[in-house]
């Protein structure tokens, strides 16, 4: 069977569903193909879904600040209310401890430029905000078998605080909301279908994408194909033959996130902000029900677990990483009761060489990509659909996005975001080398 559409989106994660919504809203016929069972069932389902603005470049800060406004008015952004339920943005604020890795001064300069409000908390205000927390500065982070792990310190932390950060309370539902809205504009979703080939025409100089082939033999014809395959996106780029034309590559990285009981006084209900503790190499995100999600921030002492085959990795947390994470927590929060066994998950980031996403065209005309999301782009999903739409619009109108990068006008700030900052051909962003971006 062969069908024809204006665009095929590969992947129905939170970003793929957003791309589908914006392309369908622009009047295109769109089909989304996903090998999984539903929208958001890929890496989106594992997301910690923190919405924050602490990135190291102006375009990334502007992007996150603009996208946050879309989460604030979710029904307005979707243009409809999903009867299955709507996600909520939960404002917690964010506390970023002032350590060398956190680059607080650079973030402050960027926030001043964009107009993001913040304050600097001294030790007394931090004690009030984080009761029972040990505010010693232990940088650099250490493994627990390092004899220096237990060293005492007489240095104390300060922190950068913003009141606007928070989280989205159900990442998978966010993808389903976007898919629901996209369907209202005619987008089709085909689940349990795997793309096995990116089809191109080979008529002399007319070398361009013409659609995709699915396992089972069906084909879908389209002049535009967008790779939003999450941790599988580097495989799809290779399948399309475009990986060699990229100066920035991307590959899957295994990550573990633990769920632990929050000590009294440090719960979401107590007003605990999300905490970026690069001093010890991890972050804490409170959630309803008196628990925290705890993840790592790629401290230099920690081994990164790169994965060759995104279909073959251990989805269960390891005792080894659990112990490191819990001991670090116990160092920071002496009252913390270390659980007996790991509760949590392991999932994959799709990490770009410089931890900045790739939102771009490719060297194959008609083949676009939203990939390399580096564990930090859930928050930007609503605006990324619009980025990709604008890049496709520009290319179809005859503008070469490589030569003349699209400038996206942010509604909240009336500032231009240079989409060339997310090019596959950019120079490596030197200020970003971890999930913090």
Ligand X SMILES: Cc1cc2nc3c(=O)[nH]c(=O)nc-3n(C[C@H](O)[C@H](O)[C@H](O)COP(=O)(O)OP(=O)(O)OC[C@H]3O[C@@H](n4cnc5c(N)ncnc54)[C@H](O)[C@@H]3O)c2cc1C
Nearest distance from C-beta of residue 182 to ligand X, angstroms: 13
The sign of the CA dihedral 43, 49, 54, 60 is positive
Nearest distance from C-beta of residue 213 to ligand X, angstroms: 11
Cis peptide before 140 (omega within 30 of 0): yes
Q: Is 93 in the site for ligand X (CB under 6 A)?
A: no
Pick the piece of the chain touching ligand X (CB under 6 A) from 1-9, 21-29, 230-238, 330-338: 230-238
| Terminal C-alpha separation, the chain | 43
Q: What is the DSSP letter of 316?
A: S
Whichever of 327 and 347 has its CB closer to ligand X, that residue is 347
Q: Which two tokens stand for residue 237?
A: 């780029």
Q: Which of 42, 263, 344, 372 binds ligand X (CB under 6 A)?
A: 42
Q: Is 10 in the site for ligand X (CB under 6 A)?
A: yes
Name the maximum alpha-carbon separation found in the chain: 71
Q: Which of 287, 325, 362, 377 binds ligand X (CB under 6 A)?
A: 377
Nearest distance from C-beta of residue 170 to ligand X, angstroms: 12
Closest listed residue to residue 382, CA positions, set 87, 79, 22: 22
Q: Which of 44, 57, 103, 237 binds ligand X (CB under 6 A)?
A: 44
Nearest distance from C-beta of residue 272 to ligand X, angstroms: 16
Q: Which of 361, 379, 389, 415 binds ligand X (CB under 6 A)?
A: 379
Q: Which two tokens stand for residue 141?
A: 């982070």
Q: Rounded to whole angstroms, how far apart are CA atoms 247 and 250?
A: 10
Cis peptide before 284 (omega within 30 of 0): no
The sign of the CA dihedral 207, 210, 216, 217 is negative
Whichever of 157 and 253 has its CB closer to ligand X, that residue is 253
Count the neighbouring beta carbons within 10 Å of the beta carbon of residue 422. Answer: 26
Nearest distance from C-beta of residue 274 to ligand X, angstroms: 9
Site string for ligand X, 337-366 (x = CB under 6 A): ----------xxx-----------------
Give the CB-side neighbour count of residue 341, counting CA atoms within 13 A: 1
Pick the piece of the chain touching ligand X (CB under 6 A) from 107-115, 151-159, 240-248, 374-382: 374-382
Nearest distance from C-beta of residue 22 to ligand X, angstroms: 13
CA 330 vs CA 125, 138, 181, 403, 406: distances in Å:
22, 13, 44, 52, 47
Binding site for ligand X (CB under 6 A): 10-16, 33-36, 41-44, 46-50, 194-195, 228-232, 236, 255, 257, 347-349, 373, 375-379
């Amino acid at each position: 069977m062969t069908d024809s559409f204006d665009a095929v989106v590969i992947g129905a994660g939170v970003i793929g569903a957003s791309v589908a919504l914006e392309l369908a809203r622009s009047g295109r016929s769109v089909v989304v193909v996903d090998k999984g069972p539903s929208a958001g069932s890929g890496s989106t389902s594992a997301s910690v879904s923190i919405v924050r603005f602490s990135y190291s470049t102006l375009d990334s800060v502007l992007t996150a600040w603009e996208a946050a406004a879309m989460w604030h008015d979710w029904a307005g952004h979707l243009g409809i209310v999903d009867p299955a339920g709507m996600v909520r943005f939960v404002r917690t604020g964010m506390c970023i401890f002032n350590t060398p890795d956190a680059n607080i001064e650079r973030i402050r300069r960027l926030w001043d430029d964009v107009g993001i409000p913040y304050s600097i908390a001294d030790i007394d205000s931090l004690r009030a905000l984080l009761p029972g927390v040990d505010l010693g500065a232990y940088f650099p982070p250490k493994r627990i078998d390092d004899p220096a792990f237990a060293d005492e310190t007489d240095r104390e932390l300060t922190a950068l605080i913003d009141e606007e950060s928070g989280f989205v309370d159900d990442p998978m539902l966010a993808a389903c909301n976007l898919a629901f809205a996209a369907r209202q504009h005619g987008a089709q979703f085909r689940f349990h279908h795997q793309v096995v080939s990116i089809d191109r025409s080979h008529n002399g100089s007319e070398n361009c994408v013409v659609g995709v082939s699915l396992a089972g033999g069906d084909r879908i014809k389209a002049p535009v194909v967008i790779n939003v395959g999450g941790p599988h996106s580097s495989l799809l780029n290779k399948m399309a033959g475009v990986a060699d034309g990229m100066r920035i590559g991307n590959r899957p990285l295994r990550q573990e996130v633990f769920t632990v009981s929050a000590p009294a006084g440090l719960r979401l209900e107590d007003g605990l902000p999300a905490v970026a503790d690069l001093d010890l190499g991890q972050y804490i995100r409170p959630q309803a029900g008196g628990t925290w999600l705890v993840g790592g921030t790629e401290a230099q002492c920690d081994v990164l677990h790169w994965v060759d085959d995104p279909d073959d990795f251990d989805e269960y947390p390891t005792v080894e990483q659990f112990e490191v994470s819990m001991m670090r927590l116990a160092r920071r929060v002496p009252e913390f009761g270390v659980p007996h066994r790991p509760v949590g998950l392991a999932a994959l980031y799709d990490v770009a060489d410089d931890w900045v996403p790739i939102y771009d065209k490719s060297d194959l005309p008609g083949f676009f990509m939203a990939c390399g999301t580096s564990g930090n782009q859930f928050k930007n999903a609503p605006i990324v659909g619009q980025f990709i739409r604008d890049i496709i619009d520009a290319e179809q109108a005859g503008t070469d996005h490589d030569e003349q990068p699209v400038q996206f006008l942010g509604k909240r700030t009336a500032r231009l975001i240079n989409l060339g900052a997310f090019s596959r051909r950019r120079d490596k962003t030197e200020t970003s080398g971890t999930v913090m971006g």
